Structure 1
Amino acid sequence: MEPLPYVDDQDRVIHASPEQVWPALLATARANGTSPPGPIARAMRLAPAVRGGDWSLPQVGDSVPGFQVTAIEPLRRVELRGGHRFSTYRLDFTLDDLDGHVRLHATTWAAFPGVGGRIYRALVIGSGGHRMIVGRMLRDVEQRVAA
């Protein structure tokens, strides 16, 4: 797989063990990969387009719409890759065990080819929308742990 340009890195400290954070992270990833309406998925050329595998114990190759697991180290790291007509991207989640709590990192890399990609990047990255969405995902993980 070709390397992608770095976009950003966000993190959140969660007062829980990796054993508590890991299933919450997987549940959040699964929930964020809901299927868009058919025509939108086709127009965007979302890849992967469908859910595959058992997300309670994901393995390399499992997918939700827009993301596929490309590397996984249970309780430590999951790498997701995907794409659509305006972007190819990678999102890594890493858990750092800090003795009683976890620092959950989310690092994004992405390429935005062509004029459409540049416009899409301005709309999603330049507007701060991407930071808000990933930040919300990190908060969602924390809320699942607390529930």
Structure 2
Amino acid sequence: MERLSYIDEHARSVDANRERAWKALLTTMCKDPADPSTVPAGFVLDSAEAPARLALQGRHWFAKYALIFELDEDGPSRTTVRARSWGDFPGPHGKIYRALVIGSGGHVLMVRMLLRRIAAAA
């Protein structure tokens, strides 16, 4: 993965061991939870290291971006799921796109929603 600018990080504690949290992550993020490469439109799989890390990346005319999930054990039946976002928004159109997606708070709402869905699935 190329070096992108850091955007933010969000985390949620999940009432499940790391293996169950990993399955919940794949159920939430993949069309086919048995195949980590079936990630949502706009992303491609960069790497999947079960049960610790799922890295997605994407690009379009206005942005290059990455969303990386990391799972850390907090005990025998608790896991912290972290979502780290990275991205570059080149040119004037990228600056406007960043304002619409990041500056509006829409990105934060979507990432927190994903983390809630992962926690519920676990």
Give the equivalent residue in structure 1 for 2:57: 81
Once superposed, what is the RMSD of the aligned Cα atoms? 1.5
TM-score by length of 1: 0.77
Q: Is contact 2:58-2:66 (8 Å) kept?
A: yes
Percent identical across equivalent pairs? 40
Question: Residue 132 of structure 1: SS of its match in structure 2?
Answer: helix
Give the equivalent residue in structure 1 for 2:103: 126
Unmatched tracts of structure 1, length 5 or more: 32-53
Any residues of structure 2 matched to 1:61-76 within 5 Å, and which?
63-76=39-52
Larger fraction in strand: 2
- When Rg is computed on C-alpha atoms for both structures, the one with the higher figure is 1
TM-score by length of 2: 0.92
Give the equivalent residue in structure 1 for 2:34: 56
CA separation in 2, counterparts of 1:64 and 1:136?
A: 15
Question: Residue 75 of structure 1: SS of its match in structure 2?
Answer: coil
Deviations 1:51-88 (A, max 9, x none): xxx541325xx543111111121010011001122111
Question: Residue 89 of structure 1: SS of its match in structure 2?
Answer: strand
CA separation in 2, counterparts of 1:27 and 1:85?
A: 29
Question: Residue 83 of structure 1: SS of its match in structure 2?
Answer: strand
Q: Report 1 or 2 for greater relative contact order, CA contacts < 8 Å, sequence distance ≥ 6.
A: 2
- The reply on whether 1:112 has 2:89 as its aligned counterpart is yes
Aligned pair count reads: 121
Give the equivalent residue in structure 1 for 2:11: 11
Q: Is contact 2:9-2:82 (8 Å) kept?
A: yes
Letter in 1 for 2:105: G
Question: Residue 30 of structure 2: SS of its match in structure 1?
Answer: helix
Displaced runs of 4+ in structure 1, greater than 2 A?
none
CA separation in 1, counterparts of 2:2 and 2:114?
A: 26
Unmatched tracts of structure 2, length 5 or more: none
Alpha-carbon distance change, 139 to 125 in structure 1, aligned in 2, over 3 angstroms: same
